[in-house]
Amino acid sequence: MKQRLMVSGRTVRGGVAALAGALVMAAFIPAAPMGTVAAAASSCEGLSSLSIPTVTIDTAQTVAAGAFVAPTAPGRGGAGRGGRGAPEGGGGQAGRASPASPYASLPSFCRVAATLKPSSDSDIKIEVWLPSSGWNGKFQAVGNGGWAGTIGYPALAAAVAGGYAGASTDTGHQGNTAAFAIGHPEKVVDMAHRAVHEMTAHSKKIVDAFYGAAPKLSFWNGCSTGGRQGVTAAAKYPGDFDAIVSGASAINWMRLHAARVALNVFTRRSPDSSIPAEKYSMVHDAVLAACDAGDGVTDGVIENPERCKFDPKVLECKSGDGPGCLTPAQVETARALYAPVKNPANGSTVLPALLQPGSELGWATLAGPEPQGNAVEAFKFVVFKDPNWDWHAFNAAKDIDQALEIDNGLLDYTEPNLKPFFDRGGKLMLYHGWSDPQVTALNSVTYFKDVSKKLGAGVVGKNIQLYMVPGMNHCQGGPGTDTFDKMAALEQWVASGTAPAQIVASHLTNGRVDRTRPLCPYGSSAKWKGSGSTDDAANFSCVAN
């Protein structure tokens, strides 16, 4: 099979077989590097003597093809996990990848590790990877997951495999935890935005020193926390990147954590209010029965949850309790999972609904025995600055406002005015899984609408576009077509000036493609044409909702 990317009426073809290859995310690289630079201006090892204010070059060494082994020390480790509970995705994630080594097929590259100290309390670790040959003349920085604290080696590997000079940062602390925040306000600033900016600015200097040429284009690629980082960079540092991929963006960071804890506490307000995990599939089947066929195909995926009208009341037990029904208290809980989270003190909306119809199999993430781990850490280490704080003491009526007041828009930064970024020709590609059980899909929908409202409809398709992924969980996974070449889509957008009319995505089972579907710009959905295989994207078209 061949994977196809529809951009402005043209079709770009790339082999899908590579999706199951040995290199993690090697399938998500552009078909061919453009404008490759053959020779370096400086030796790799010579970069160790590079002098840049506030920057210390820790190491600079050439890594032979296939020889890289990821360190295990904190801060230089692999992709971060999302604290206690389910993981949150990191930079460059693009679908279910091969469990084989992500580095075995890497070409030779120059690996530079550096420490940045833009403030007296900063200790930002970065790595810059520079292809020894075949550089495509471009720079790609990759994002983090959860509370960061690690270098994203798999995402860096994908960037280098694609011909890019790549960079990643631990954002100024070690370990995927918020424990660093107590007594270190400057490190919180680094985590919020400064580390990514400093990494980007100084990485470009290292690129220039090595190749004797600055990158002709600079890209960001991240999901979850990496999505938040991308949106923040576009708004706060509009000159850093030419184009940005922002997936499952964890913007509204502090609101998100507050809503997560508040919702979890509500689900266990009484002895019989929590929905047992063994009932999730029963609820999910009922939701599919009500809404799956809306796109003309019954396939276990809800194409457009916004048009799904499902009331859990239909599952209420006639009497007592049982595995095939919900108690009245559980019905109220299920309704709350689909509803906006409100502040009980004043009725104001904290965030839109955290969960959408179709997400039921992932409800344990936010409605399980305890609140999501990253959210608990936000209150422990940032809000209350008390490692012993117990989430059972959470009081939504006062703690939500306190969290937002203490953060004061730092981690919660969400600015829709992207005019300076767009005036430079900047492109922002948003994507989000409709079945995301961790970061509400409406984060991306709301932000996309806010930017469009702020700057006018003319920016849509030219400077910003949103692609919702039916059936996809957080950054990847789920029954939807969660595997697609984000960087290729972004490259084509930059080259043509127009966002993709559709992006063909794949679903893989055991490393083999068993379904393709078009991902449509927000406001339209994929609909079956009425003939041909329903597992072939060619038999679907994007139709306005």
Spot the catalytic one: 123, 436, 482, 485. Answer: 436
DSSP per position, 196-215: HHHHHHHHHHHHHHHHSS--
Instruction: Given the residues 173, 432, 474, 507, select the one marked as catalytic.
Output: 474
DSSP code string of 81-147: P-SSSS----TT--SSPPSS-SSTTPPPEEEEEEEE-SSTT--EEEEEEEESS-B-SEEEEE---TT
Residue with tokens 């070449």: 485
Does the annotation count 321 as an active-site position? no
Interatomic CA distance for residues 314 and 311, integer angstroms: 6
User: Which tokens in the block code for residue 352?
Assistant: 């839109």
With beta carbons less than 8 A apart as the criterion, state whether 109 and 207 touch.
no
Burial class (CB in 10 A: 0-12, 13-18, 19+), 104: middle
Torsion of CA 58, 64, 65, 67, to 10 degrees: -70
Tokens of 139: 């720079």
* Residue 415 structure tokens: 């600015």
Q: Specify whether 224 is catalytic.
A: yes
Residue 517: in which H helix or E strand, if any? strand 512-519
Three-state SS for 16?
helix
Q: What is the DSSP string of 289-339?
A: HHHGGGGS--SS--S-GGG----GGGGB-SSS--TTSB-HHHHHHHHHHTS
Catalytic residues: 224, 436, 474
